A and B are shown apart, each in its own frame.
Chain A
Amino acid sequence: MAAVGGRIVSRCVSCLSRTAVFRRIHRPRNICTSTAVCCSKSENVSHFEDKPEFPGSRSQFTSRLEFLEPDRFEGIPVYRVMSRNGEIPEKDQDPHLDKETVLKMYHDMTLLNTMDRILYESQRQGRISFYMTNYGEEGTHVGSAAALDPRDLVFGQYREAGVLMWRGFKLENFMDQCYGNVGDKGKGRQMPVHYGSKDLNFVTISSTLATQMSQAAGAAYAFKRAQNNLCVICYFGEGAASEGDAHAAFNFAATLDCPVIFFCRNNGYAISTPTKDQYRGDGIASRGPGYGMVTLRVDGNDTFAVYNSVKAARDLCLRESRPVLIEAMTYRIGHHSTSDDSSMYREYGEAGYWAKKDNPINRIRAYMERQGWWDEKQEQEWMKDSRSRVLEAFSKAEAQKKPNPELMFDDVYDEIPEHIKKQKDQMKQHVNQYKEFYPLDIHEEMT
């Protein structure tokens, strides 16, 4: 291991490729970040004295005609801090979070869970039009959010409500958006769960997949130039990683040295599509080295491991001004959305296994109980309290009116151009003519 240009590097024994190492969270060992090739057992014998001088080359010649077989290499390990029952076997990996922080983690994860249950059911009753639960992935949200600076910019996909919750998005903010009522900062224009918050540095969600990824690289580049010592985090799923945008994002971020954390939530499914139909390599993490990106795979159901990973990634991003790819392995316990029925494509009991046996909420709770910070009585009280808070926010949001229909025409441009002004007037005139046939009763009055 040697310091080169301020960067901590190690060299792979076989190919001498340099690789940055997370000083704080990795056990001291060499980890290759170039493709697993360099970990191959086969020795390369070069009969040539020179080395390849092709632009960008960094290896050597070989006389051996040998294809790289992806299956020959061991998979990238999954970094973990805490066992399923809340034990931390390697004490130096303990993030030593104080009681208050761990309690906030647990509160946010469980509050999110309760909110999900109520909103999922409210969709079933036709009270909101759509919903997506976060079941099983709460650890990836809260663990990552806790490791960031609240001013770091978040580009989410659509299943990261816990990140917002950690940052202080209130229950009423979630509910108002899902109802598209006057309290919704997005002005009722998007489907439920398309949250956004300028104050909390969370860029508004779009339904399109992977489009946010290269944008995150661009935002990180702007941050780097602004020298604000902040980074950008971009959440995406293993399905979205198949989009062309993902390739562009990784490559732009790597070549332009953008301080961005690409945080993949690999939850096993893209709607019904299992990972075996999505990729054939070793997950998403194996792609990182191909782009020249520092990469880590983490147990996404281990909130502390996620926390350590993102904290170290953030340090690396800012210290070295380069992107980091994190693949968090987790499981989507709920359906894709309220439009989906996962019993059509998942074995009965599969989701139940994860809900019971490998659930981030259970794990952190086990840790808290070991610490003597939590017991059944507190749990009961908290569940009751959190439920009543969710229901209170829910009923408040439902009682609110939807925005003035004229707001439909705002924000297409910074100012309403003439042709849209004309359409707005036509709409008002028409709706006023036929008042009883439009749902004006549930909207704020037009001017």
Chain B
Amino acid sequence: MALFIRNKCINLAKQNLSILHKKIPNRPSTKRLYASFTYIPDTPSSSHGETTRMNMFQAVNSGLDIALGTDPTAVLFGEDVSFGGVFRCSIGLKDKYGADRVFNSPLSEQGIVAFGIGLACAGATAIAEIQFADYIFPAFDQIQNEASKYRYRSGNLFDSGPLTIRTPSGAVGHGALYHSQSPEAFFAHIPGVKVVIPRGPIQAKGLLLSCIRDKNPCIFFEPKILYRSSIEEVPTGDYTKPLSEAEVIMEGDDITMVAWGTQVHIMREVAMMAQEKLNVSCEVIDLQTILPWDMKSVAESVVKTGRLLIAHEAPLTMGFAAEIASTIQNECFLNLEAPIERVCGYDTPFPHVFEPFYLPDKLRCYEAVKKLVNF
């Protein structure tokens, strides 16, 4: 019947909207905007064996499959997880591992995280999904006051290490206030949790498996725009990627660019623009783990380049770029050739129709590059 309604609706609309179509002078511009990016696939490490073409939701699904298959205590749960999840990350897993291991939770984020802490505390591996990062805040108390402090407050008698919280985050083109946020900085302020953000399918699977197996509670933000738009040859087997290790994805001499998630791809294109138009050589670093972050890799790069640009979608004020800038000016003060630049979302909620103006897009980052080299 759902189909019936849809068909009826389409027919109805076809009749009417086709007439309308001619009258409308002001359709949205389809011009390719600088907030968009071209996804350049990574090459999988040959040591990880056979590969297959996957987008990021399939890579996450593959990682979850391995986690469930290799650890009989592991369970996967959250809102709408049972039928495959609203982003299809858990598709097929209920049928494969049973409804007692892959299940729907009632609609309560604080419940989901607390339930996960309980599972972890009792020795099970808990993989919790929060449907959107924008909705993680009812669980903030459980993360900030419980998960992060379990080990410390009990003198290591108890811990919540086997808990991993997966959640889609970031801009998607039309998500507005409550389907676009990048709240990593809130969680970077919590000693005791790890915060990880992958830039694509290969990283997503390897980093997710690392988080699930890590002895500390992890929050794994999945940039939702990459679920379908990023496609790579992903190793089908079991592999992990190290946490707290940044990765230099483009080497360069003049400017260090630090980003994570979707923004890495923006930075890579800006680096290419800078090379082409300004003859400026940029080193692009994917931080990958936000907490505890790899300051050594960033500092080493800045020692070499003398300039640092950090960009993220989250608002400027108190974004994680502030932490990096502060640390690097302390570590590399005498190496710096220019003040550290940050290009971030503005200090407003994430807006709907203004998204193209809000994002730290290529042109804004490119302008920051010019500022850094012209200082």
Contact = CB atoms under 8 A, between A and B. Distances in A.
Q: Do A and B bind each other?
A: yes
Contact of A130 (B1, B16, B82, B174): B174
A387 B23 CA distance: 17
Interface size class for chain B? 35 or more
B138 A189 contact: no
Contacts of A245: 138
A190 B3 contact: no
A131 to B, nearest CB: 11
B157 interface: no
B334 interface: no
Most buried by A among B80, B103, B111: B80
B363 A423 contact: no
Nearest to A401: B26
B44 interface: no
A272 B104 CA distance: 9
Nearest to A278: B106
Contacts of B109: 243
Interface in B152-170: none
B367 A408 contact: no
Given A180-B353, A190-B176, A409-B348, A244 B2 contact: no
Nearest to B1: A352
Nearest to B20: A395
Interface stretch (B5-13, B233-241, B267-275): B5-13
Given A117-B13, A189-B177, A279 B353 contact: no
Given A189-B351, A399-B25, 12 more contacts: A122-B17, A242-B106, A339-B86, A344-B83, A348-B3, A354-B1, A394-B20, A395-B20, A408-B348, A420-B346, A434-B363, A438-B357
B19 to A, nearest CB: 8
B278 interface: no
Given A335-B2, A351-B5, A439 B107 contact: no
A412 B317 contact: no
A402 interface: yes
Given A405-B354, A419-B347, A442-B26, A271 B1 contact: no
A412 B348 contact: yes
B252 interface: no
B354 A273 contact: no
A407 interface: yes
A188 B367 contact: no
Interface in A351-395: 351-356, 387, 391, 394-395
B356 interface: yes
A194 B86 CA distance: 21
A6 interface: no
A331 B107 CA distance: 18
A189 to B, nearest CB: 5
B357 A342 contact: no
A181 B1 CA distance: 34
Nearest to B8: A117
Given A121-B12, A191-B176, A427-B357, A438 B33 contact: yes
A213 interface: no
